Amino acid sequence: MKPLICAGLFSLLLATPAAVAASAARPETPRTMPVLVIDDTPIGKTPVVTSYADALESVQGSVVSIYVSKNAPDNALARQIFGENFPGRPNLEESGLGSGVIVSADGYILTNNHVVAGADKIEVSRVGDQKVKATLIGTDPKTDIAVIKIEGENLPVVTLADSDKLRVGDVVFAIGNPLGVGQTVTMGIVSAKGRQIRLLDTAETKGYEDFIQTDAAINMGNSGGALVDAKGRLVGINSAILSTGRGEMGGSIGIGFSVPVKLATNVMENLIRNGKVSRGYLGIDPDDLAPDLIGSFKLPPNSKGVVVTGVDTEGPAAKAGLKIDDVVVAIDGKSVGSKAELGVVISQKPPDSQIKVRYFREGKEDTVEVTLANFEDDSGRPNELLAGVTVAGLTPGDRRKLRLDAKVDGLQITAVSDASDYSSKLKPGMVVTRINNDPVTDDLPKARKSIQKGINRFYVYVGEKITVLGIDVK
């Protein structure tokens, strides 16, 4: 049987799409950034250990179970045959289970995007505690990272390690709630670093993968849980497995993947601060350096790097002087051996930041400073006007149902997530006809551009009349 790459929670989420492009919820008011506990020293050499209980005891309290539910699509055929209120009509709700890690005493939790993607309700429970409501702070499908928050003070938190200092062979532990049996700890080693398995690639966009591979058992329900080192420090967020089975039959065979905590916290800080992930843009078309081309580029033997095959003439790289056939070998002193690795490095740099690009041209090594631009990308939320607010163009049927005048145009709100910051004002069925001074048509990208930071005037058609709502966008 061919191996199957599957994210640990996908089948447990039933019809909840694993790769739903969920949005990052923009905060109503500026949020206070969480205080993180960090220990970035390498694990080092240690004597023989007969138990890791002391190291794991402190972290177990910070690993939580996450329960999500989503309203299932209505069954139009059943309504047509049996009526709106036929006896025994099922509760149209889908549910799923995952894990998460508390990283700050005031309740910020790291988990996977695919755990909470598309969820209408999110609840969290610690070991032995009741479920509590969680708020979606934001999601990033490109790294499979999400941030949620629960209310609380002095909550148990995990200490963060520097995942860049992990070495193949380091002992690690996976902690989560596999298959809903309860919190479970499994043990293994770091099998590899920097894995790119194209799990996060979609038809519209490419993900940023830099996975830690481990043989610690990861199963469905472990998604979003902790990967910790022998000191009990968080090194990764468990995300996926490679399995020979399919669906719920796909269990661990010792090939699991975790998002490095350094990448995860970079995403988290962006989501908390801005409600979305802002990434730098270099402006080149990269390709991997093939070994048989090292000589033709006049590079030292065994060189690794990225060949510039195209340059955005108005982009940062071109303005800094980079050209086609340059070979980029390092960014800010960090070696880059593939275009995927280059993408991950640049993705963690904020727009307007300055980076040092080391490259070869005609066999001569040089370094240039580049000021990154902003990487514009709406592929992660193709049908959303605002975070958690899904819209669609008006059909003739919609117009008849809403009794819309032919002169009224706009975008109909089809769904609003309970976790969205805008759920208190914007409701399904409303038609957004104007934003500030701009009329709204079925052109969603154009409508997004009408939205500004601060208070926006949303003119919505509801109850057969136009109402003006003030929507605060941070």
Name residue 361's beta-bridge partners: 364
Contacts of 175 (CB under 8 A, 6+ apart): 56, 59, 60, 63, 99, 183, 184, 185, 225, 226, 227, 228
Active-site residue numbers?
114, 144, 223
Contacts of 165 (CB under 8 A, 6+ apart): 40, 41, 42, 43
